[in-house]
Amino acid sequence: MVQVKKTDNGYKIGQKTLWAPLTHDSAYVSLMSHIGSDMEYDVVSWVISYPGEYDIDGVQYRVWVSQDGELNYSIITASTTSVLCQTKKYLQTDELPDEVDTWIFTEPKLRDTWEKMELEWETVVLGEIE
Domain ranges of the chain: 4-128
Name the strands in the sheet holding 4-7, side by side, starting at the edge strand that comes first in the sequence.
4-7, 10-13, 17-19, 29-31, 46-48, 40-41
Mean pLDDT for the chain overall? 86
Query: What are 37-79's pLDDT values in tens digits?
Result: 655 555 556 889 889 999 999 999 999 998 888 999 999 999 9
- In the chain, which ranges are continuous DSSP H helix? 108-116
- At residue 112, φ and ψ (nearest 5 deg) are -60, -45
Quote the pTM value. 0.85
Which of helix, strand or coil describes residue 21? coil
CB atoms within 10 A of CB 41: 8
| Integer Cα distance of 111 and 116 in angstroms | 9
Tens of pLDDT along 109-127?
A: 888 877 777 666 788 888 8
Alpha carbons 22 and 30: distance in angstroms, whole number: 10
